[in-house]
Amino acid sequence: MNRVQTRDGTSLYVKTLGQGRPVVLIHGWPLSADSWDPQMIALAEAGYQAIAYDRRGFGRSDQPATGYDYDTFADDLADVLESTGAKQDVALVGFSMGGGEIARYMSRHNGAGVTQAVLVSSVVPYMLQTPDNPDGVPQATFDEMTAGMRADFRHFFTGFFKDFYGVGLVTQPVSDEQLHWAFMTSQMAGQYATLQAAKAFATTNFRPDLPHFTVPTLVIHGTADKTVPIDATGRAAAAAISSADLIEYDGEPHGLFATQQDRLTQDLLDFLGRR
């Protein structure tokens, strides 16, 4: 199976690898399920069934005109679980905006079938800076991102991925080829979908969803993440989820699945093995 039809008729690209307990991996903005390939291989080799899918509007999935909100994203996740048979003893792993799917699924679908959750560089619980969320990202920053994507969609992502992976004048945590893959993958997404999804992760307040995390939860976040700052997200989520453990990757940027591929994979396997 490589396609799942959601309840509103949207076709999502899904891939699976291995047999065993299901581990569903949800990618970040603006990438695709392929960002999880190294972890999927390791999970399959360790006796798990790794499942990943392209979010609506991204990668090889349909680009509908509607549905770029977290209620719909959570419903899409529920439909993927149903269609792939991942109904019991499921571990959910969400990177960046993918953490939001997990949070909304836990509340909207009562966490059906889920026994563990992992939030990696996640936007949960709230990205936007407000009077009661002073460590968040200012609205002006998101406005600048929107303006940049509208003005020159291709050019915007050339610079975006440098911060994403922590590339600087004296730092090069990933290869030029990894940067090229990320750029090319971002261009598989529709511009409208990319803009709408960015609005969703920038403005959705997941704080009401956090009490629904009643399963063991692992939060992993880089302390030098410029894309999703740790104070408003990783640290806040770990403090609010009573069942959560926090692992901070000192000095690491946003794209941990690539900059700390082996460490992240091992931390996932260690956590899953505690069940």
Question: Mean pLDDT across the chain, nearest whole number?
Answer: 97
Which pLDDT tens digit goes with each residue over 126-164? 999 999 999 999 999 999 999 999 999 999 999 999 999
Longest CA pairwise span in the chain (Å): 48
- Written as six digits, the tokens of 172 are 């090069």
Is 242 marked active-site? no
- Which listed residue (62, 75, 76, 225) is catalytic? 225
Residue 269 CB-density burial (10 A; 0-12 exposed, 13-18 middle, 19+ buried): middle
Which pLDDT tens digit goes with each residue over 214-238? 999 999 999 999 999 999 999 999 9
Cα separation, 238 vs 242, in Å, equals 8
Number of domains the chain is built from: 1
Cα separation, 101 vs 104, in Å, equals 5
- What's the rounded mean pLDDT across residues 162-178? 93
pLDDT category at 24 given cuts 50, 70, 90 is very high
pLDDT at residue number 1: 58
Three-state SS at 143: helix
- Which listed residue (35, 61, 96, 186) is catalytic? 96
DSSP string, 164-226: HHT--SS---S-HHHHHHHHHHHTTS-HHHHHHHHHHHHH---GGGGGG--S-EEEEEETT-S
pLDDT at residue number 163: 95
pLDDT at residue number 171: 86
Cα separation, 213 vs 124, in Å, equals 12
CATH no. for residue 109?
3.40.50.1820
Which residues on adjacent β-strands are paired with residue 53? 14, 26
Is 254 marked active-site? yes
Which pLDDT tens digit goes with each residue over 79-128? 999 999 999 999 999 999 999 999 999 999 999 999 999 999 999 999 99
Q: Is the pLDDT of residue 242 over 80?
A: yes
Residue closest to 37 by CA, chosen among 59, 13, 15, 62 = 15
Q: Report the half-sphere exposure of 214 (CA within 13 A, side-chain side).
A: 9
| Domain residue limits at 171 | 3-272
- What percentage of residues in the chain have a pLDDT greater than 70? 100
By the 8 A CB rule, do 200 and 97 touch?
A: yes
pLDDT at residue number 170: 80
- What's the rounded mean pLDDT across residues 185-213? 98
pLDDT category at 169 given cuts 50, 70, 90 is confident
Is 27 marked active-site? no
Beta strands 114-120 and 90-95: pairing type? parallel
Q: Is the pLDDT of residue 5 over 90?
A: yes
- Which listed residue (27, 76, 254, 267) is catalytic? 254
CB atoms within 10 A of CB 162: 16
